[in-house]
Structures are given as structure tokens and as C-alpha cells.
Amino acid sequence: MPQQDKSDLRAFFEPGSVAVFGSLREGFGLGYGMVRSLRQFGYSGKIYPVSPFHSEVVGMKAYSSVEEVTEPVEAAIVITPPPTVPRIVQQCAHKGVKAVIIVSENFAEAGGDGAKYQRQLEDIARRTGIRIIGPNTVGVFNPATGFLTNPYIIVQDKIRQGGVAYCSQTGSVGLAAKPLEERSYPVRLLCDIGNKCDVDESDVLNYLANDHKTKAVAMHLENARDGRRFIEAARRVVARKPLLIIKGGKSEAGAEAMVSHTGSLAGNEQVYDAVIKQVGALRLSSWEEYWDVPRVFNSQPLPRGNRVAIITGSGGLGVTVIDTAVGSGLVMAKFSAATQKRLKKLFRRLGGNPVDLGPVLSVAEDPFTKQRQIIEAVLEDENVDCVAASIYVGFDALIHYIAETFDSLKKHMSKTIAIHLYGMKTQVLEEMLRQLEARGLPTYLDFDLAVKSLGFAARYSGIRMGLEQS
């Protein structure tokens, strides 16, 4: 059997056809759930449900085995009991399937026979060249093709397409775990690599490095299966796009827990920390950062330096946020004399950084015009590399004006900007967030997170400049 190009994971994310192995019992069967989810998200490839117990599911023909399918099959999703999985994957390999995602649990992470079945899978992958993601994974999701391998109930039927590839070793940050659509996360791909019996973090990084639609990679890492390959792959990513890593096991207790989670040994924490730094990746320190920091890389230019302007609705908020900025490696921009003059002309007490909108907006005849003029002056200052702007959106009626403000500011958007929204209704804030994100503006509901994201952007920018000069 000819070996396929092993670095090409395309068949996992945009297969033209997929076989689904799993219970097709209506309502509760996990195979049924898969088929339903694929249709719900408008997957346009051919779907071949496979089950010995059914001849039909949701109006589609079901097959008793993959060999019964006469057309070629590119990918397979398997969610059947562990003892049945090796034979299914062997049959898939024989059929010429390129990519198998094994969602079933109870392999190496459960020990006992599970470990044995996982070794059999490793062996099949090695022998036949078929690629495997999993087992013990919720697999992948590609909003562009509607291809997903999630057997659980998903209440939305589309997710915003964007440039961030999220890759994890846990399913609980997947499609079902986060208000992805309501919060308008710009998703290129979601991928849970599970127990990594074949495809591992290095494979995914190599693939994403070459995927021109991926603008940033957020990776949750428990361990790297092959240190050298990981370093090479991470470097390949960092040369082209930011690589943001959340790594468990920083504390000793965390390291211990990792061992039992995916059945793989934890590495030495200091070594990982050094490697992450050495390759130019950036370490995230919370799940909030994992989800939200990459927003800033989706549609914004990289800042040319680390000088930040902070525009706030309140002086008090601004002050504590400066501490966050400094802690994130930013420095407060000092406005040019021209900008200071321009700001003072707009309002006597302006001119410094942070820029406090509060007093001026409370007296302005046309606060939206004033707000726009102030942001414009700041964005145009030669001493400013990036801008964090905190905007009040208390109620519905303001959405329109704020959208207009940023529409007319578009032409000044050569600087990196991150927007923070605050107000009293979640739905209003989320609607405004979606409208601004649709305009290419990274938007946050937490000011500290917005500022931190600019810090990450500036740090990556510095790393890229260093790489390009060397």
C-alpha cells in the first residue's frame, strides 16, 4: 500500500466523504448524533453511516460495513466500543480511507485492555499509513466545511469562520463547551488530539504552519510526544503566525494529574518553559486567555512596537489597567505635542495617556462625534503602536452609533486596536461585540484581557522582527 503524504492532515478537516461508525439508534445513538450534527452544520460531503443493526438513519442508507460502500471514502469517524475499533480501522485502511477520528474512550487512559487496543491502533497506523486522531477525543470541527465529529447535542448550527486554530488535549474546550457563536470567536478549526496514538501536536502544528487561513494557533498542551519534532514544528509556526500555548502541569500537583488524564507522562516543567520561550511561542496562563487572546491576531495588523494608548470611560478603570499593560510588556505611549494639542482642543483636560472619556462625554453635545475624534487623534499619533479602547454600551440604542463610529474610523486602522465593552445587559454587549468583530475589531468584555491581548501582540511582533532580522 503506497504511503500517503503524512504531513497533510487535510482529510481530517475537509474530507469529501465520511463513514460514521457508531450506534444509529434514533435520538440516543452516538453515530446517530454524529450524522445529525454533520447535517445540522451543512456538511456537503457524502456521509456513509455504518452499522450492522440498521439499514437506514435520518432518511439515509446505512451500510453494514465500510466495504459495502462502492464509492471511495476519505475519512471515518469511529465511536464504537474499544474492542471493535482496531478491526474497523483496519477495514478503513483497506478501503483506502485516509483519516480516522476515534472518538471512543477507554483506551490507554483507562489502562488494562484499553492500552492493548490503543497499541493495536498505533500498529495499524504505522503499517498502513492511515492517519488517526484520538482515541479519547471529541475530534475536529471546521466551520468552513461544516465537518465535525461531535456526537453531543449542539444547539447552534453555524460558527463564525475566522483565523484562529484551537488545538487541545481535552474535549471540554470544544464546540459544546463555549458560546462560540454568541461571542463570535473567529474559528478556523477546533481540534482535540486526545490520546495521540498517531497524529500528535507536532503533526497539527506542521499542518497549521502551512494553512494560510490560520492566522494564529492556540494550543493546549499536556506533553510533547517528540521534543525535537515539536521544536521544529513550533518554530515553523512562529515564523509565520503566533503560537499561544496553555500548558498544564506547571505545579507539581498539576504534573501528577496529567499522567492519569491521557495516559502520557508529563515532561519536566522547566524544560517546557524553556522550550516555549526558545521557539518564540507565548505562554497563556488561563483558559480565558486561551479563548480570547487570539482574537487580536485574527484581523489586526501586528503592532510595530509596544507603546500603548489606553482610552477609558473612567480614570479609575484606566489606572488599574495600566498595571496590567505594564505587566504584559507594554509601555504607556507618550503622545506627540501635536496630538496633545489636538486632544486638548477637543477637551481641555485631555492630552495625557490614559485618555479618560468620562468627563468629556458627559458634557459633549454630540458625544459620539467627540468619542470618534478622540480615538482618531490617538490612532494617528506617531508615538502610538497600539490602542486599547473601553467603550460604554449600556443599552440597545447605542449599538448603532458605536458601529458607525468604528465604520468611520476604519481608514485609520493601521494601528492594532483592541476594544473593551461594558454595560448592563449581556445580550447588548454580545450583539455589539459581534458587530465589531464582524468589522475586524477584536472585542472583549473584560478590559484587562483586551490589554493583555495587545501585550501578546506586541511580544509576538518583537519575536517576528527578531526572526526577520536574523
Taking CB under 8 A as the criterion, the residue among 119, 287, 380, 403 binding a copy of itself is 287
- Comparison of 171 and 242: residue with beta carbon closer to a copy of itself: 171
* Residues written for the chain: 470
Question: Contact 358/370 with Cβ under 8 angstroms?
Answer: no
Cell numbers at 182, concatenated: 454568541
The least CB distance from residue 447 to a copy of itself, in Å, is 6
Q: Nearest to residue 384, comparing CAs of 311, 448, 315, 318?
A: 311
Question: Contact 5/59 with Cβ under 8 angstroms?
Answer: no
- Comparison of 239 and 332: residue with beta carbon closer to a copy of itself: 332
SS3 35: helix
Q: Is 31 in the site for a copy of itself (CB under 8 A)?
A: no
Distance (Å, rounded) from C-alpha 100 to C-alpha 93? Answer: 9
167: Cα separation from own chain's centroid: 7
Taking CB under 8 A as the criterion, the residue among 64, 84, 156, 414 binding a copy of itself is 156
- Comparison of 62 and 175: residue with beta carbon closer to a copy of itself: 175
# of chain residues touching a copy of itself (CB under 8 A) = 83
Site for a copy of itself in 243-262 (CB under 8 A): 246-254, 257-258, 260-262
Question: Contact 223/247 with Cβ under 8 angstroms?
Answer: no
The least CB distance from residue 224 to a copy of itself, in Å, is 15
Q: Is 237 in the site for a copy of itself (CB under 8 A)?
A: no
The least CB distance from residue 19 to a copy of itself, in Å, is 22
- Comparison of 106 and 202: residue with beta carbon closer to a copy of itself: 106
Q: Give the contacts of 55 (CB within 8 A, at least 6 positions apart).
A: 61, 62
Distance (Å, rounded) from C-alpha 98 to C-alpha 424? Answer: 50
- Comparison of 128 and 390: residue with beta carbon closer to a copy of itself: 390
Distance (Å, rounded) from C-alpha 39 to C-alpha 58? Answer: 10
- Comparison of 72 and 352: residue with beta carbon closer to a copy of itself: 352
Q: Is 448 in the site for a copy of itself (CB under 8 A)?
A: yes
The CA-atom distances, in angstroms, between 304 and each of 10, 68, 286, 446, 454 are 34, 58, 26, 24, 11
The least CB distance from residue 422 to a copy of itself, in Å, is 5
Q: Is 268 in the site for a copy of itself (CB under 8 A)?
A: no
Q: Is 425 in the site for a copy of itself (CB under 8 A)?
A: yes
Distance (Å, rounded) from C-alpha 220 to C-alpha 199? Answer: 15
Q: Nearest to residue 162, comparing CAs of 300, 286, 54?
A: 300
Q: Is 392 in the site for a copy of itself (CB under 8 A)?
A: yes
Taking CB under 8 A as the criterion, the residue among 317, 378, 391, 409 binding a copy of itself is 317
Taking CB under 8 A as the criterion, the residue among 36, 98, 183, 241 binding a copy of itself is 183
The residue range among 14-22, 65-73, 228-236, 319-327 that interacts with a copy of itself, by the rule CB under 8 A, is: 319-327
